Structure 1
Amino acid sequence: MQNLGHRQALPGSRRIRTGPRAQLACINCKERKLKCDNQVPSCVNCQRYNIACLVEDPATRRQQPRNYVETLEAKVAVLEDLLRRTRQGNTTPPVAATRTEDTASGHSPTVSTKDDDDDVVSELSSKVALLGMTADGEARHYLGPSSVFSFSHVIHASLRQPFPGNHLESLDDDQDDSAAAPSPCFLPDYELGISLSNAYFENIHPHYPFLHEPTFRRWEDALVRPSNTVGELDFDPVPLFFVNMVYAVGALLLSNSGSLPQQLYVSAQFYIGDILSRNNLEAIQAILCYSMYSLRSSRGPSIWKLSGIALRQCIELGYHRNVNHSGPNTTPLRLEMRKRAFWVTFGIECYAATILGRPLGIHLQEVDAEFPLDIDDSNITETDILGEPRSPDSDSSTSMSTALHVIRLRHIWARLHASLYSDVNNMDNTTHDDRVPLFRAEIDAWIASTPPIPPRTGAALSILATQDWYDLSYSETIIMLYRGRLIHHPGGGGANDDIFLQCARAAESICLKNRRLYIAKPVNCTWGTLHVIFSAGLTYLHCLWTSAAVRHQTSLDEMNSTPTSCTMLLTVIADRFKSAASYRDVFEALCSRTKKMMVDGGGEQSGVQLSTMDPCDVAPGMFTQWMAEISDAGISNAVNSLLAGLVSDCVTYEEIGN
């Protein structure tokens, strides 16, 4: 029986068994030209320098402890003993029994039939569901979507189809759905593992700091670094799950990682049942790990569903309330991590709900939780907070500075969404017009107070880790602020012209900046990325069709550059993800008609040959089909209104021209 919690070379390699070996000097003694006494588990020289005593396997050229095989045999013996005791009289608690048995079955996927695999998956889902229904010690009763019962179905789908394409919040790629699902794997070697965790903590953690890096590093060191003895963490599902998931997300950031992200993701599944049954901070962090994977991958569970489940569990545990409501024995580390978990969850749920035009999971009137401290992870311990938090006007940044700025933006988004888009029945035009300048002042103050980018050891692997993210988010927020005015107020005259011009420039910035970031580079696109690019392109075209002032101040060269950039991005995305084809097709058709309108007299400039931008021959019925496909994929009412209006304008213009 194999153990998911231990090292293995990259997937595909296999250890070659050899006969008895001659004693070899360790690598440290060879490099220092010292005489090695070949002691097990560590020679005297390595003990003196307090370093790992490693030898090179002559067959595989791998560096490993001298007693590597004996250590593995000891771990296997422990696992076999656990399994044997589990099968004797059900003396082991249900959670541990489930974990051990599922690990055993999950490590040998090639010897099971498809029906057997389905039975194992269904059994795991059912057990997690039952644990959730009785977790509070009460009789079974109705449980809403925040319960483990609901999330068990997400787990079930993930295990059966590890990376399901969800048309609502993620994209199907063009790989063969009938291909064999990835198999679980061991944790990578120490060097590769460190590169994966560094990628995560330098590129993802600054935005979503729901894990405590020093705690994770202790887990990583115990599980991945070459060790001499079997440690208790080797069988603890919490470290095993989080190390596997962090590595999986880190692998998504690195190029040429092959199937490693999927294999690590599948490996983490064997430990999720135990964690979710606890209904505590770790359960919320585990769900957020799934969200991180789905944010970076084109496949995976729905971000909106995951964040909604995590948010409801935060509310159930009271994380949306002031820390004064916490228990007397809560440690400083626990207090900070609960604040981080709530605000990260709130931010993700707010982002997904706003993009989809859905109600927020919780209104800010119900929240009085403090923001996390602007302090480095290393200064937060179980017993104390070391040092003082960063001041807002500091020229330096901490590991929390970026996340706090993101939280402030989502705070603005939530109030903007509730004030301008959710309360429409109780708001007249005057009230709306009074609120908009106040929000605009907040948005401008937000971008002006952007903290410095945290230092890193390598190049940025995600837009989240760059200044460009702030600029793009600012432009996206400007469009969100004025989108209601774009749709419900005709262009022309004073303030309206200025709003249309601002939105056109913000949309132009999004299209051009994304083109610079993504074209000729590996595109790691999610539904959110596609939505931002598509809605920015629609906003730009809408401003051209609706506002004479925008047409007057837009040259044909500028008009060519911005929609072309958006079209290129959508084409690149559609080449990789078939679900994006409708977005590309409808935008290309709208661009073609917009260019024709500008050349025919909608713009003030001339001198461009019409033959260079002939409108494509698209029947009006195709627009209806594309719009239906896009609507099925999930789109907010505001963006849907923009799209419907543009299609109507373009079709009417064509009919008049004909």
Structure 2
Amino acid sequence: MPVLHRPSFERSVREGLHLTDMQFGGLLLSVLAVASWYSKDPRVFVDGDTSLSAGWLFYKQIWTSPKKFEPTISEVQMYCLLTLYTCGVSGPQVSWMYLAIGICCLRQLGEYRRKPEGHMDPEDELWKRAFWSFAALERMVCPCFGRRLGLHVEECDVEPPLEVDDECWDQEFALCAEKDPTENRKPSQVSFFVCDSRLGEIWGDATRRLYASKKAKTLMGWESLDWEQRTVADFDSIMNDFLDSIPTHLRWDPDSPPQGTFFDQSAILHVTYNYILIAVGTNPVCLATC
């Protein structure tokens, strides 16, 4: 999940921005909290506690009270990482609060809509990454708590993130933005996030339609048996189209699997793809008509 642009984030830390900017300071603390999960250094644990407390010392220092000013990109990124961190604590329900705050910030600033043609710069790209990261987190958190999605496909038309790795984006952003993503460009790790986000959109739309309440189905005209059968068939077609659109370096091939990071990314896409097929195919609508 490329919430941050690593080179620019590390540059801001070296310049001491966290000492003068409270929002960026909170972002740095949230990064340290999440990173603590992957550290065995006892300094990231609460004194006398186990590794289950990893990151708590950083998390409890973050100040998240409402402000009278428009949210900044650092603040929104912080809420995204706090959502991720609190999913792994003993009271994960608080992750829903951070998720909701972050989505409200995006709506307040209109960052769920496409930018005007030609309006593209590094900060805009950070906002796109933030939006798609929240969309991915929402589709992960909502099913766990049995809550409905707040971001719907028909309401949001944000372009997907540029399929450019951080080192290229930091130095040659304008050049990379103008090129065809498939032209003379090495395979990007961000391509996985774009594909996974597309799967998330399909899954979110499927659950909204097939698992909607009776009242919602009546209001939207989704209640006839014929409609349900056609909808399931449409989703099967959409999933097939998605499979054809996966970049070559992320396609799962048991005989010649991808290598390195691309192996993990390809496996995750493969598992998620089949999970959605199973979830849609075993929907009560399908079982009732088999």
Q: TM-score range by the shorter chain?
A: 0.7 to 0.9
1:322-351 deviations in whole A, cap 9, x for unaligned? Answer: 2129xx9x7601211122211221222233
2: CA distance, partners of 1:299 / 1:237 = 26
Q: Which of 55, 59, 63 is 1:265 aligned to?
A: 59
Name which one, 1 or 2, has greater alpha-carbon Rg. Answer: 1
In structure 2, the CA distance between the partners of 1:358 and 1:488, relative to structure 1 (3 Å rule), is farther
**1:347 equivalent in alignment to 2:146:** no
Amino acid at match of 2:115: V
Residues 440 and 253 of structure 1, relative CA distance in 2, 3 Å threshold: farther
Who is 1:246 aligned against?
A: 31
* Structure 2 runs not aligned, ≥5 long: 46-53, 251-259
Distance 1:395 1:299 in 2: 43
Give the structure 2 partner of residue 575 of structure 1. Answer: none
Aligned counterpart, 1:303: 95
- 1:376 maps to a residue whose letter is D
Tell me the residue number matched to 2:237. 441
Measure, in 1, the Cα distance between the counterparts of 2:96 and 2:24: 26
CA deviation profile, 1:282-329 (whole Å, cap 9, x unmatched): 22212101012123445455333322221122111111112129xx9x
2:169 & 2:100 partners in 1: Cα distance? Answer: 28
Q: Which has the higher contact order (CA 8 A, sep 6+)?
A: 2
* C-alpha distance in 1 between matches for 2:161 and 2:4: 13
Offset, 1:437: 2.0
What is the CA–CA distance in structure 1 between the aligned matches of 2:169 and 2:265, rounded to whole Å? 26
- Equivalent residue for 1:483, pick from 270, 282, 289: 282
1:28 equivalent in structure 2 = none
* 8 Å CA contact retained: 1:210, 1:341: yes
Aligned residue number for residue 361 of structure 1:
150
| Residue 216 (1) aligns with residue 9 (2) | yes
Aligned to 1:312: 104
Please give the alpha-carbon distance, in whole angstroms, between the structure 1 residues aligned to 2:276 and 2:285: 14
Q: Counterpart of 2:116 in 1: which secondary structure?
A: helix
Q: TM-score, normalised by structure 2?
A: 0.75
Q: CA RMSD in A?
A: 3.4
2:174 alignment partner in structure 1: 385
**Alpha-carbon spacing, 1:336–1:443, altered in 2? closer, same or farther (3 Å):** same
CA distance in 2, matches of 1:445, 1:254: 40
Q: Which runs of 5+ in 1 are unaligned?
A: 1-207, 224-231, 454-458, 491-495, 497-658
CA distance in 1, matches of 2:282, 2:100: 25
Pick from 19, 32, 38 the counterpart of residue 234 of structure 1. 19
CA drift of 1:485 comes to 3.2
Per-residue CA deviations over 1:34-83 (Å, capped at 9, x if unaligned) read xxxxxxxxxxxxxxxxxxxxxxxxxxxxxxxxxxxxxxxxxxxxxxxxxx
1:279, 1:308 → 2: CA distance?
14
TM-score by length of 1: 0.36
Cα offset, 1:439, TM superposition: 0.9
Write out aligned runs for 1:563-642 (5 A): none
Matches within 5 A, 1:135-150: none
Deviation at 1:409, TM superposition (A): 0.7
The change in CA–CA distance for 1:351 and 1:292 in structure 2 (over 3 A counts) is: closer
CA contact (8 A) 2:112 2:131 kept: yes
Percent identity between matched residues is 20
Is residue 337 of structure 1 aligned with residue 126 of structure 2?
A: yes
Letter in 2 for 1:478: L
Count of residues paired in the alignment: 262
Provide closer, same or farther for how the CA distance between residues 241 and 358 of structure 1 changes in structure 2, counting only shifts above 3 A: closer
Give the secondary-structure state (helix, strand or coil) at the position aligned to 1:397: coil
Q: Which residue of 2 aligns with 1:400?
A: 190
Q: Secondary structure at the match of 1:405?
A: helix
Using a 3 Å threshold, how does the CA distance of structure 1 residues 300 and 353 change in structure 2: closer, same or farther?
A: closer
Task: List per-residue Cα deviations over 1:603-655 (Å, max 9, x = no partner).
Answer: xxxxxxxxxxxxxxxxxxxxxxxxxxxxxxxxxxxxxxxxxxxxxxxxxxxxx
